[in-house]
Structure 1
């Protein structure tokens, strides 16, 4: 039986400068373990604002957010930072790998920060994730020596290192050509289907969205279809 991993209830978001503007209007949805959800809509519809709140980066909102059975609304920044590192993996449009670090070192970083495993265990886990993503042979290369597609796969391996409850993607294929976009999509789909990994991704790519498990479509700060 699938369990609820994330629950957003009555999320409202206001910006007050330069004039008051309501960016999100009564957002309600749940996502189950292993589900691959995409959020779509035109630029300015509020999807990135919503993802920022779901990722616990933005705490200035009304409503409640629960992830992995834990109420996150009202927690301190330090508590949220610890929660993010342990329970949320991030994949962005740009990979944000440290260029002077090897692929292996980049993947290890979140686990070293978490401090749950020894350095040896962390290295073994990093190799395991790189193997899963098909880039184990690139482990000891500096990340700036990798192709764009390889860099994004390393970024996904990094997102997986702490076995997060959910991976959140902000245009995860937005900086890739069609062939590499398909590779990244197939990887995410495989993680969802075969490893029960929950994924939430904001995307402008209609093919990416249509092949996910569920689409939330937004317009003017509201969910208009899901």
Structure 2
């Protein structure tokens, strides 16, 4: 397996209301083709870690490499372009535009990337929706879909630019058990069949149970 992401000696401080070290010497690696949940109690630092690894937060010490490229120290513009090309995001709240159709929402990151023409982006978006069994809702306004359907649209959107890694923050936090299992199965398939690295913060221990390996955190440390 080839390495998708490595982090070395990450430290993160919060400075208000007083200085607090929220992450302490975090070192880890994730391979392509692996589904890796990050678990731990609330406040242990797992979402903070994900935001560092995803380059959304750059206020830390240490080094992060993604796809053999050092992202630590890149400018905000460089990071924005890097994220759009290499990282797909899935959050607890899907952040779909309710006045756009499912298809239009999925197309947005590819239109921004500008690698393909609009017709090809439309075809790609329809293909991603089909992978997630959502193609029949392509022309429906996303605001009219159920929570589980909206989360599958958000996953299709995360896949549109063929990312090397998907980062998910509590992706099943608002879903019932049936849709939670569905999202787990999708992530597992993406890792094992599409060779994508999937890194997911979760409170759901069942969600984590069948993963390739699990990163467990406590008090800003990785404990297993």
Partner of 2:60: 61
**Which moves more between the two structures, 190-199 or 94-103?**
190-199
Q: 1:90 & 1:59 partners in 2: Cα distance?
A: 17
Q: What's the CA shift for 1:102? A: 0.2
Partner of 2:21: 22
- Residues 10-39 of structure 1, C-alpha deviations (whole Å, 9 max, x = no match): 000111111010000000011111110010
In the TM superposition, what are the counterparts of 1:138-157 in structure 2 within 5 Å?
Answer: 138-157=137-156
- Which stretches in structure 2 are left out of the alignment for 5+ residues? none
Partner of 1:166: 165
Q: 2:193 & 2:47 partners in 1: Cα distance?
A: 28
- Which stretches in structure 1 are left out of the alignment for 5+ residues? none
Q: What's the CA shift for 1:145? A: 1.0
Partner of 2:222: 223
Q: What's the CA shift for 1:147? A: 1.2
Give SS of 2:36's match.
Answer: strand
RMSD between aligned residues? 0.6
Q: What's the CA shift for 1:4? A: 0.5
In the TM superposition, what are the counterparts of 1:25-104 in structure 2 within 5 Å?
Answer: 25-104=24-103
TM-score by length of 1: 0.98
- Residues 138-191 of structure 1, C-alpha deviations (whole Å, 9 max, x = no match): 000000111111111000000000000100000011100001111111111111
Q: 2:15 & 2:75 partners in 1: Cα distance?
A: 22
TM-score by length of 2: 0.99
Q: 2:41 & 2:198 partners in 1: Cα distance?
A: 21
Q: What's the CA shift for 1:63? A: 0.2
Q: 1:74 & 1:222 partners in 2: Cα distance?
A: 23
Q: 2:58 & 2:2 partners in 1: Cα distance?
A: 25
Q: 1:59 & 1:105 partners in 2: Cα distance?
A: 30
In the TM superposition, what are the counterparts of 1:194-205 in structure 2 within 5 Å?
Answer: 194-205=193-204
Q: Segments of 4+ in structure 1 off by > 3 A?
A: none
Give SS of 2:174's match.
Answer: coil
Partner of 1:193: 192
Q: 2:30 & 2:196 partners in 1: Cα distance?
A: 11
Give SS of 2:42's match.
Answer: coil
Partner of 1:180: 179
- Residues 87-122 of structure 1, C-alpha deviations (whole Å, 9 max, x = no match): 000001111100000000000000000000000010
> Is 1:210 aligned to 2:209, yes or no?
yes
